[in-house]
Amino acid sequence: MKPFVWKVRVYWEDTDAGGVVYHSQYLNFFERARTEWLRGKGVHQATLATDENVLFAIRHMDIDFMQAARLDDELDVTIYNVVAGGVRMTFNQDMTRCSDRQLVATARLTAVCLQADNFKPTRMPQWIRAEIENAK
């Protein structure tokens, strides 16, 4: 699959008192990239929940922090190697500082498809799996 890249700028609100990105913000940056990747495939999560009673939740995530991102850094958040199963999707993501191309963090995660009204696992809609397969 061709990697998807989402640019993000580090703002003051993303950092601790020393101007270093607070560790939980990396999760937000990775999440925004996944949301925009899905949006680019025609998957609008609010509509998916209301019209198809389906939502995605993170089941598992492994993150490696390689280098600190800092105030005003521009970062490329990349998604590659997405695999969709019946209920699960796995994502690989990298975060790279644009100025020096240094790898800042990596993530591998599993998202599961749930029924929006009761949070029970459900099969992913076929049209979403088809969109993911077409990206390869």
Indicate which residue of 16, 51, 64, 72 is catalytic: 16
* CA atoms within 13 Å, Cβ hemisphere of 32: 14
Q: Is 16 a catalytic residue?
A: yes
Burial of 37 (0-12, 13-18, 19+ CB in 10 A): buried
Distance between CA atoms of 112 and 97, rounded to whole angstroms? 29
Distance between CA atoms of 27 and 36, rounded to whole angstroms? 14
Known catalytic residues?
A: 16
